[in-house]
Amino acid sequence: MLGTDAKSILKSIKALPFRKKVLLPVRILSDSRVPIGAKLVIPGLLLYLIMPLDLIPDFIPVLGQLDDLLVIILALGLIVRLCPPQVLHELVLKLGQTSSPPAQPKNQSGGRNPRLLKRFRLGEKIMELFIFGNGVLAIVVLVGIFGLLLKEGLPIFAHTPFWRFLFGDKWYPVSSPPTFGILPFLVASLMITVGAIIIALPVGVATAAYLAEVAPKAIRESVKPLIELLAGVPSVVIGFVGLLVLTPLVRNVFHLNTGLTGLTAAIMLAFMSLPVIVSVSEDALSMVPNEYKEASYALGATRWQTIVHVLIPAAISGITAAVMLGVGRAIGETMTVLMVAGGALSVPHSLAEPMRPMTATIAAEVNNAVRGGLQYQALFAIGAALFLITFATNLIADVVLERQKRRFQT
């Protein structure tokens, strides 16, 4: 495939000492005559070498490095084919001749670059690539997870049409014939999450405002870490507390048949999302510029007015982020809701009824489901729906925040 030109170039590249070989890509990248396609091969190669995703994983000794070697050789061949041969030849020759980088013609300005030519900075590019690679990795993982959920979950729609799956109110996975309608779980998840946030939001923001603006320094510095510690309590333990303490309380206060209800779960989830809401909101509130506060106080506003009309509006993006994190925690929480929500399979009409959210459904049934069977597929489809809901919540929050920000920027 390679012409004689290319062969002789490859030979002269082989003849170069190792240090020069390393320098060659740099020269190629910084030469304006090299077409962009050939230049792109080099970062692509680096990316492959850096990224943990490999044809053969790197941690396998010898064999793991084989694919890297192969890719390097392939990339070299690609560059030789994409570059104009004269240019490449010249570059290789230049490297071979001088032991130092090609000497600049000396002039009055000493060793300076006399024509202010653009310079290639290797360290800069490597860092850029590394950061870029990490960003790509996060997206790859995200897409991978969603892909997996879809792959395992989508086949269920051959059995139950999409809309019937989403809005069907009967979930009988083991009857014959089985029916898969996830409306009860969808509604339960929604009710419990909204309920949890309705409880957690005012409490959380008020606590944050107290810590940020009212509490003396000593209290702030001791209470905040304590609240954050709460986030580390395992959800099973929280579930126990819910069972022992809250369940009888809810039953007696609301005169219900059972204390295992959506409301119980919502209260426990509110409790669990409080730490992140308080912590992130407090950070946002403390970061409001002092000038705003001073301006407000100097106009005769009281502390309460300053908090409500200046601090919270100025920190609203941070507070929204805090609430989104809280929602994420609440909607994804499994163990606690499994223990205290009651687990009823019918569509709930109020928070005071037993119900079973999506996460609890997956956790409760995944061990009994036959791998690859209909129930198994349906559970994965629930997972995909959960993923989409979380994704959409975050997306909406982002858009709202962006709009909010833009409204008051210069």
Partner 1 sequence: MVIFSGEIERIPAVPAPEKIKLRTSGVNLFYGTFQALRNISIEIPAQAITAIIGPSGCGKTSFLRLFNRMNDLIHNARVEGSVELDDMPIYDQNTDVVELRKRVGMVFQKPNPFPMSVFDNVAFGPRRHGKDNRKELEEIVERSLHRAALLDEVKDKIHESALSLSGGQQQRLCIARVLAVDPEVILMDEPCSALDPVATLKIEDLMRALSENYTIVIVTHNMQQAARVSDMAAFLMMADDKTGELVEYGPTNRVFTNPKDPRTESYITGRFG
Residues of this chain that interact with partner 1 (CB under 8 A) are 217, 289, 291-302, 305, 309-310, 313-314, 407-410
Angle at 51 between CA 49 and CA 52, to 5 degrees: 110
Do residues 181 and 358 make contact, with C-beta atoms less than 8 angstroms apart? no
- Other beta carbons within 10 Å of 275: 24
User: Whose Cβ is closer to partner 1: residue 128's or residue 294's?
Assistant: 294
Q: What six digits make up the tokens of 318?
A: 């941070």
User: Whose Cβ is closer to partner 1: residue 11's or residue 405's?
Assistant: 405
User: Whose Cβ is closer to partner 1: residue 114's or residue 313's?
Assistant: 313
User: Whose Cβ is closer to partner 1: residue 132's or residue 304's?
Assistant: 304
- Nearest CA to 185 among 324, 326, 342, 339? 342
Residues near 219 by beta carbon (within 8 Å), at least 6 away in sequence: 211
* H or E segment and range at residue 382: helix 374-407
- Nearest CA to 190 among 334, 358, 379? 358
* H or E segment and range at residue 180: strand 179-180
Smallest distance, partner 1 to C-beta of residue 291, A = 4
User: Whose Cβ is closer to partner 1: residue 10's or residue 401's?
Assistant: 401
Q: What six digits make up the tokens of 101?
A: 């980088």
Smallest distance, partner 1 to C-beta of residue 308, A = 10
* H or E segment and range at residue 388: helix 374-407
- Nearest CA to 239 among 374, 127, 363, 123? 363
Q: From CA 400, how far away is CA 319, in angstroms rounded?
A: 13
Smallest distance, partner 1 to C-beta of residue 198, A = 27
User: Whose Cβ is closer to partner 1: residue 48's or residue 210's?
Assistant: 210
- Other beta carbons within 10 Å of 256: 17
User: Whose Cβ is closer to partner 1: residue 291's or residue 372's?
Assistant: 291
Residues near 245 by beta carbon (within 8 Å), at least 6 away in sequence: none
Smallest distance, partner 1 to C-beta of residue 223, A = 18
* Partner residues linked to 221 by β-bridges: none
Smallest distance, partner 1 to C-beta of residue 324, A = 21
**Which ranges in 169-314 belong to alpha helices (H)?**
183-209, 217-230, 235-241, 247-253, 262-286, 290-298, 303-306, 312-314
User: Whose Cβ is closer to partner 1: residue 264's or residue 296's?
Assistant: 296
User: Whose Cβ is closer to partner 1: residue 294's or residue 398's?
Assistant: 294
Smallest distance, partner 1 to C-beta of residue 217, A = 7
Query: Is the alpha carbon torsion for 341, 151, 393, 276 positive or negative?
Result: positive
User: Whose Cβ is closer to partner 1: residue 192's or residue 209's?
Assistant: 209
Query: Is the alpha carbon torsion for 357, 362, 368, 371 positive or negative?
Result: positive
* 230 torsion bin: left (phi>0), alpha (psi -120 to 50), beta (else): alpha
User: Whose Cβ is closer to partner 1: residue 176's or residue 290's?
Assistant: 290
